[in-house]
Amino acid sequence: MRQILLLVLPIAVAACGQPSSRQAAAPSHAELIALETELLRLKLTSAAQERLGIEIFRVGIGSMPRTRSVSGEVVVPPITANGVPTGSLSNLQQIGAQQATADGEVARTQAQARLARIGLSRAEALVREEAGSARARDEAFAALAAAQALADAAQQQRRLLGPAIGALGNQATLWVRASVFASDLGTLARGAAAMVRAIGAQEVARGARPVAAPPSANAAAGTVDVYYALDNRDRSFRVGQRVSVDLPMAGRNAGLTIPSSAILRDIYGGEWVYRRTAKDTFVRQRVEVASEAGGQALLARGLESRAEIVSVGAAELFGTEFGAAH
């Protein structure tokens, strides 16, 4: 009997030490579930979800145009159809020297053409005054034609060298050179626009229209270059900049599609979504995006059909999970 009383006494003391009043329930609760990166199971009250603007999307089957992501380089387009683009591999010092020589040749031939035109005017005036011969007038006319041909050739040679070196960074329209494997050329949609974005940037991709350019290829890599014209009036891109290019391919890909707003990307390039696993419960889950266009993303893996994910408010849940605003 004495042993029983000794056991009951600590229990009674512990019970007396408990607070009498209950604390208010927290609007959110994080529970460790210890997966690949020590993910947390987030539990939010209905009021917290409404305050964060959480919207749910049910994953379904869809299709998107086929694309192929490749790297590209921003280059300066030529002035004429016979010119070649100027890129990071171009020897700007040599091109500048050639442009200076060509500019001098253009000035010299234009001066000769003006002098020949003056000579023709004088020969014609002498013929009208019956003080000169028709032969001299014809020779002056031929001299003018020859001088004008030399001036036109000099101007064409100058245009082949492209814009002046000092104006390369002020082009309103730039080209993007993308390398495509020769085996993919047959399925490339030649007349469709490509989508271009700066590497590592989160901004919306910019459309670029296909253009005809001088043929170029890399025999060692087995690739062929294709070119697209890019609007750069806001000076967002610079010559020589490496960019990501989504090339349009023939056909469409079918699979699970989700809104692009549901996807979060970490500093390592990993792609995540927040999945609703139960009422008011969310878990961050890794996915892999196959392609993305028009605000929709086609998944390669990571979810199954009819799974419920957060389409609006994923960034707010990310901040809730890590304890800081995102």
> Mind listing the pLDDT tens digit for each residue in 271-320?
999 999 999 899 999 999 988 877 889 998 989 999 999 999 999 988 88
* Higher-pLDDT residue of 262, 23: 262
Q: Could you report how far apart the first and last alpha carbons of the chain are, in Å?
A: 62
The pLDDT value recorded for residue 21 is: 55
pLDDT band at 38 (very low <50, low <70, confident <90, very high): low
Helices (H), 43-178: 46-52, 92-128, 134-160
Q: How far is residue 105's CA from residue 99's CA, in Å, rounded to a whole number?
A: 10
- Residue closest to 274 by CA, chosen among 259, 264, 260, 289: 264
Please provide the average confidence, as pLDDT, over all residues in the chain: 85
Mean pLDDT of 158-186: 88
| pTM for the model | 0.64
Q: How far is residue 131's CA from residue 112's CA, in Å, rounded to a whole number?
A: 25
The pLDDT value recorded for residue 132 is: 82
For residue 81, is pLDDT > 90?
Answer: no
Model confidence over 218-259: pLDDT tens digits? 889 899 999 999 999 988 899 889 999 989 988 888 889 999
Percentage of the chain beyond pLDDT 70 is 89
